[in-house]
Amino acid sequence: MKRLYLLILLVMLAILSVGCLKEVNYYNNPNIAQLIEDREIVQMEGYNFSIEDGVLTIDENDTHYEIKLPDKGRILSLHLSYDKQFLAYDVKGENGVKIYIVNLDTGSVTNLSDTIGYNYDYDNYHTPYGIAWSPNQNIIAFIGGQDKAARIDLYHLEMDINKQLHAGSFIFDDIYGVKWNENGSSICYVEPPKDDGSMYHVYETEIEFESYLQSGTVTIIGELTHEDYIEWLEK
């Protein structure tokens, strides 16, 4: 009889665990703009961003930069870093999505997908959740990889050595979105359901950056239904 009660208890706990999610307070970057149409002007923190004839223009007081986009490229989203020193943006083009960073002090541009990544072109994440700036460091987490081989990389803009991390996550068929927790100690990201109709899985990776950028423990912190996933995006 005791074994029967124990079995019932285990089944009940398994049922209760479905859909449960570790409570995480996420950082929501207030400076994100989506899908800029040609000649539209987006204003963020004193900067004016616009696109015309395949050129991204950035204006702020006496600062003026013109950055050529890839051929037939379309910007999906713009993201300012916490201190407004860097701008990240993703561009959808003929060769998938490429992610870039602009140093707003100098105008220099870094192609994260090709130089930090390995010619990444993964384009199946949900915009604008493929890019996430840390809330208190100039560290960017971004979803890269190739088709059926998505991963999260990180890059620290203010470290001199060991500033890039290719182990922000395991490799999955797809990753739909990435976020930082509010104190910048970990990233969380979502693996979509498999074809068998299983749940979305939410993972958390601890991030350390005192002497060099490295990842810590990776854990599954919960499962989500589709409705729960939509709520997760909005948290």
Report pLDDT digits (tens) over 5-20: 333 223 333 333 444 5
Lowest mean pLDDT, pick from 9-18, 109-118, 180-189, 224-233: 9-18
Domains in the chain: ranges and CATH? 25-234 (2.120.10)
What percent of the chain is modeled with pLDDT above 70? 91
Environment class of 134 (CB within 10 Å of its CB; exposed 0-12, middle 13-18, buried 19+): buried
Strands (DSSP E) found in 115-167: 131-133, 139-146, 149-156, 164-165
State residue 20's pLDDT score. Answer: 52
Instruction: Name residue 133's beta-bridge partners.
Output: 140
Between 116 and 41, name the one with better pLDDT.
Answer: 41
Residue 173 to residues 33, 98, 146, 147, 154, Cα–Cα distance (Å) = 27, 18, 9, 7, 19
| Average pLDDT in the chain | 88
pLDDT at 231 over 70: yes
Between 3 and 62, name the one with better pLDDT.
Answer: 62
* Stated pTM of the model: 0.88
The radius of gyration computed from the CA coordinates of the chain, to the nearest angstrom, equals 20
pLDDT at 187 over 70: yes
Average pLDDT over residues 179-204: 93
State residue 212's pLDDT score. Answer: 86
Give CA–CA dist 212/21, Å, rounded.
30
State residue 208's pLDDT score. Answer: 92
State residue 11's pLDDT score. Answer: 32
What percent of the chain is modeled with pLDDT above 90? 74
Give CA–CA dist 101/38, Å, rounded.
20
Query: Would you place residue 4 in the very low, low, confident or very high pLDDT band (cuts 50, 70, 90)?
Result: very low
State residue 21's pLDDT score. Answer: 63
pLDDT at 134 over 50: yes
DSSP notation for 2-55: HHHHHHHHHHHHHHHHTT-B----B---S-EEE-PPTT-EEEETTEEEEEETTE
Between 78 and 160, name the one with better pLDDT.
Answer: 78
Give CA–CA dist 4/10, Å, rounded.
10
pLDDT at 23 over 90: no
pLDDT at 58 over 70: yes
Average pLDDT over residues 59-81: 94
Q: What's the half-sphere exposure (Cβ side, CA atoms, 13 Å) at 36?
A: 29
Which helix (H) or strand (E) is 228 found in, with range?
helix 226-234
